[in-house]
Chains A and B, each alone.
Chain A
Amino acid sequence: MKNTWPLWEVFIRSKNGLHHKHVGSLHAVDAEMAIENSRDVYTRRSEGISIWVVPSTEVHASNPNEKGSLFDPADDKIYRHPTFYNVPDEVENM
């Protein structure tokens, strides 16, 4: 803590109605300072109306080596997509 301030991941909502989106990271002593610094680093041109900061150590990620077993189950379920179904030509909008 003395020498290296913790790393924070920064998420910004650009306007109401949109998700907060990850924009990058920065170092700060605490959450309050992380928000203030994020304002200066990531929103100098009105890019945001709301900021989330999360300690990087609190982000738990899926393991890229297990990408296969994790995501494969969705690959063979084409019936989950609307294009799987035939719609008679007479039906114009569906």
Chain B
Amino acid sequence: MSREELEAEFQSKIDAEQRIEPQDWMPEAYRKTLIRQISQHAHSEIVGMLPEGNWITRAPNMRRKMALLAKVQDEAGHGLYLYSAAETLGMSREKMVEDLLSGKAKYSSIFNYPTLTWADMGAIGWLVDGAAIANQVPLCRASYGPYARAMVRVCKEESFHQRQGFDVICTLSKGTPEQKAMAQDALDRWWWPAIMMFGPNDDESPNSARSMKWKIKRFSNDQLRQEFIDMTVPQAELIGLTIPDPDLKWNEGKGQYDFGEINWDEFFNVIKGNGPCNKARLKARNDAHNNGAWVREAAVAYAEKRTNRKNTAKAS
């Protein structure tokens, strides 16, 4: 078959909502786009453990500590589901880890913000995981089979994360005036970075159209952002917190909220590596990798020893 025929067959499969599987023919650009997107997503899960890991030892009680620990463990799991999905496209795990550690690969900018108080555990679960869910639910129908299947598992677990976070922020907002102020402060700091998570405006997002044609992406950045805002504003009202956007207003005609201008300079600046925690996050990942080298070596040595022992037992 000619290249044009292969491409036409590929696109007609996608148009018919059939999934593309690892062995199937696919355009190189589709493969590259997926490798980039899935590995960035995996890196985000791995780096995403750091801001919350910061509070595990200081959780206010045992129940909250165990829940936070379980959530962070899930994120490690999500990273692993996604790395293995990316590997089905011919990308090696080693190379992906290398790109993350060297700073070459990107991950979600949101994780370059610091977690200053316990209330941030609430704001992250509620807003950051909430935004992630809005982004990720449509990915369960992404055209690439292994990615879609990994996302089904991720989404199932993610809803626990959001409720866990909302429970934290809800409890604080019903607490003492100091606790309520803490919750409000966390919302003030996380709101804008959270709505930036949906990415640049549609007219600034050059690859979106192609990803939509390939059904990797189902909704545009602005559509998803609007949906998230419309869903979240009433939740903030319910717990008596104020969203830090003076332009936020219900638009009766459109049936949705109007909201203020996003500071895209900040967004691109954090992506470029100048966010408050970019360097600390990369250092933490590199330290973990380097300090864990002996564990990996010991595991290999132990496996070899075990094999040798089995072989000797067989021989005798």
Contact = CB atoms under 8 A, between A and B. Distances in A.
Interface residues of B, number: 26
B306 A30 contact: yes
A23 B149 CA distance: 9
Given A24-B81, A61-B23, A4 B94 contact: yes
B303 interface: yes
Contact of B80 (A3, A41, A64): A41
B93 A40 contact: no
The interface residues of chain B, by DSSP majority, are classed as helix
B81 A44 contact: no
B84 A2 contact: no
Given A25-B87, A26-B84, A30-B306, A1 B300 contact: yes
Q: How large is the interface on A (under 10, 10 to 19, 20 to 34, 35 or more residues)?
A: 20 to 34
A54 interface: no
B252 interface: no
A30 B309 CA distance: 14
B77 interface: yes
Contact of B77 (A27, A41, A63): A41
A3 B307 CA distance: 18
B10 to A, nearest CB: 12
B73 interface: yes
A87 interface: no
Contacts of A40: 73, 77
Interface of B: 21, 23-25, 70, 73-74, 77, 80-81, 84-85, 87, 92-94, 149-150, 153, 157, 299-300, 302-303, 306-307
20 contacts: A2-B300, A4-B93, A5-B300, A7-B87, A24-B81, A24-B84, A24-B85, A24-B150, A26-B84, A29-B300, A29-B302, A32-B303, A32-B306, A33-B299, A41-B80, A41-B81, A44-B77, A61-B23, A64-B21, A64-B24
Query: Closest 10 CB pairs between A and B?
Result: A29-B303, A30-B303, A25-B84, A64-B23, A29-B299, A24-B84, A41-B80, A41-B77, A29-B300, A4-B94
Interface of A: 1-5, 7, 23-27, 29-30, 32-33, 40-41, 44-45, 61, 63-64
